[in-house]
Structure 1
Amino acid sequence: MKLTDARKSLSGTRYWRSGRGAPVVLIHGVGLDATLWQAQVEVLSKHYDVIAYDMLGHGESALPTEDATLDDYADQLLALLDELDLPSATVVGFSMGGLVARAFALRHPGRINGMVVLSSVFDRNERQRAGALRRLDETRKQGPTANVDDALERWFSPSFRDAHPECIAAVRDRVTSNHPEGYYRSYALFVTQDSFGLDKLVSIRVPVLIATGELDPGSTPKMASALAEHLPNASVHILRGQRHMAPVEAASEVNTLLIHFLDNVHNHSLQEETLR
């Protein structure tokens, strides 16, 4: 993904599109942008029509309104699919992107073929919620620079941080360069909406893959298993030895996991169409 290849939708969303085949949409996490997915776009676009975009309040996309909800983030994706004339897509959401993917599946069920929820939060316990609310308060006061160094320690293993200082610096720069209001409004949803749609998740009937790092302290394996219990067609995969930033630190493993899931979803879809 080159910055010069980025496009801008009529509704104000920056996105990249590459490859041919069934459409796959990649949604990044809070504080980041679509460039998170460089390793995934490179591989997935050999098999699929891959769209990676900046969420509201991130990168060069429009800011969310002050009263924005996850449904507004889901509608941003809907507007992009409509503009690209795509009737449906398989959606891959990382971290906060997993919340947006869930909201999209609930709000626009006819437009999603399958869903991957990667390193995402669900139903925080009291201690986890208190920590997240504390970080949100610090973000309100200090802006995007709040907690960034602590976040990098949670997101990446010590060995990866030591071996790839340029990558760590780039992620830090990406987080700290966010628009303060766009970042805060998005972060507030990330902190408070982990149980979004809890009583409706059973209605999501498409295939779902839930994956997270074994050592991810914020998006834990326990959360992944608990979320899967609410989804009738979900499987869980734990990335051994990984923390939060699996798409970067364990790109090859994540790519293999995604290709396997996507191939199963779309081969199954082709079989269904053949039988009709």
Structure 2
Amino acid sequence: MGVLTLDDHRTGLLSRGASGPPVVLLHSLGSDKRMWEPVLDRLASGRRVFAYDLRGHGEAAAAPHPQRLTDLARDLFGVLDALQLETAHIVGLSYGGGIAQTAAVEAPERFASLALLATTDRPFPEVFEQRAAAVETGGMEAQVEESIARWFTPEAVAAEAAGVRFAREGVRAMDPAAWAAAWRAMKQLDVRGKLGAFTAPALVVAGGADLAGSADVLRQLADGIPGGQFVELPGVPHLQTLERPELVADALDGFLPRG
């Protein structure tokens, strides 16, 4: 655990692994860096792995709100600079995947590879605005169970699995204004067709039980990246690492190089 100082805020950092290629992990909206803990040990075998809190989340909760995804892309570059990394293997899940794609369009030379999990390359402006506005009228607590039902399988929710409990507390702890700002930043995402010149290796991972994302969208995303690989994990919901970490670790471990 550590702290990084970026341009306009400080953020928390998890790191694992002593040597090997660097891997940087970007978490989902409403979560924090700890959502990667179930896969960290596996990924850190022969690699140096870092997970940080996106602005508005975790230890970066007090950061200025993002106005657009490019603000969060610049944060990623700031993290790479603070860690003295010219390039890294970047992995983003959901919101983190939108940020990673935005950064890959802006500065592909900073990417040794790109892995995108349970994300999208296009905006759904009405849906995302509805989620932003809902917290402004109904408060944070009203967003908890609706989000949990969208992110996990019914079986995990009924069993009150550890990942469900973690995600529920993550949403409950968020500042409503930060939640709304994140959804409105995501509303501006549109990188369709913009990764056609991205030449580093790329992996796109869909969950077969993902109620929040379309496997067809992710398959098209992979098809639009030269050499992009597409994998669909059966029975895996949106917050992949919190319900089926072993399958996510298998997919990433087979894609990311070791030292």
Q: Aligned partners of 1:67, 1:257: CA distance in 2, in Å?
A: 31
Q: Aligned partners of 2:174, 2:209: CA distance in 1, in Å?
A: 27
Q: CA deviation at 1:129?
A: 4.9
State the TM-score, normalized to the length of structure 2: 0.91
Q: CA deviation at 1:64?
A: 5.3
Q: Match of 1:171, as an amino acid?
A: A
Contact 2:118–2:205 (CA under 8 A) maintained in structure 1: yes
Question: More deviation in 197-206 or 30-39?
Answer: 197-206
Q: Taking structure 1 as reference, are residues 44 and 105 closer, same or farther at Cα in structure 2, changes over 3 Å only?
A: same
Q: Taking structure 1 as reference, are residues 234 and 226 closer, same or farther at Cα in structure 2, changes over 3 Å only?
A: same
**Hey, what does 2:170 align to over in structure 1?**
174
Q: Give the share of equivalent positions with the same residue, in percent.
A: 27
Q: Match of 2:12, as an amino acid?
A: R
> Which structure shows the bigger proportion of residues in helix conformation?
1
Contact 1:13–1:80 (CA under 8 A) maintained in structure 2: no
Q: Aligned partners of 2:4, 2:236: CA distance in 1, in Å?
A: 35
Q: CA deviation at 1:143?
A: 3.7
CA offset digits 1:84-128 (Å, max 9, x no partner): 11111000000000001101111121111101100012336xxx6
Question: More deviation in 251-260 or 66-75?
Answer: 66-75
Q: CA deviation at 1:55?
A: 0.4
CA offset digits 1:225-268 (Å, max 9, x no partner): 121232122111111122212112111111010010003xx68x
Q: Which of 223, 238, 248 lines up with 1:254 in the alignment?
A: 248
Alignment root-mean-square deviation, CA: 1.9
Residue 29 of structure 1: SS of its match in structure 2? Answer: coil
1:119 pairs with 2:115: no
State the TM-score, normalized to the length of structure 1: 0.86
Q: Taking structure 1 as reference, are residues 27 and 78 closer, same or farther at Cα in structure 2, changes over 3 Å only?
A: same
Q: CA deviation at 1:151?
A: 1.5
**Hey, what does 2:33 align to over in structure 1?**
34
Q: CA deviation at 1:169?
A: 2.4
Gaps of 5+ in 1: 1-5, 268-276
Q: Which structure is higher in RCO with an 8 Å CA cutoff and minimum separation 6?
A: 2
**Hey, what does 1:93 align to over in structure 2?**
92
**Hey, what does 1:10 align to over in structure 2?**
5
What are the equivalent positions in structure 2 for 1:24-63 lying under 5 Å apart?
A: 24-61=23-60, 63=62
Question: More deviation in 21-30 or 218-227?
Answer: 218-227
**Hey, what does 2:81 align to over in structure 1?**
82
Residue 134 of structure 2: SS of its match in structure 1? Answer: helix
Q: Aligned partners of 1:56, 1:145: CA distance in 2, in Å?
A: 21
Q: CA deviation at 1:16?
A: 1.1
1:234 pairs with 2:233: no
Question: More deviation in 27-36 or 180-189?
Answer: 180-189
Question: More deviation in 95-104 or 129-138?
Answer: 129-138
Contact 1:121–1:218 (CA under 8 A) maintained in structure 2: no
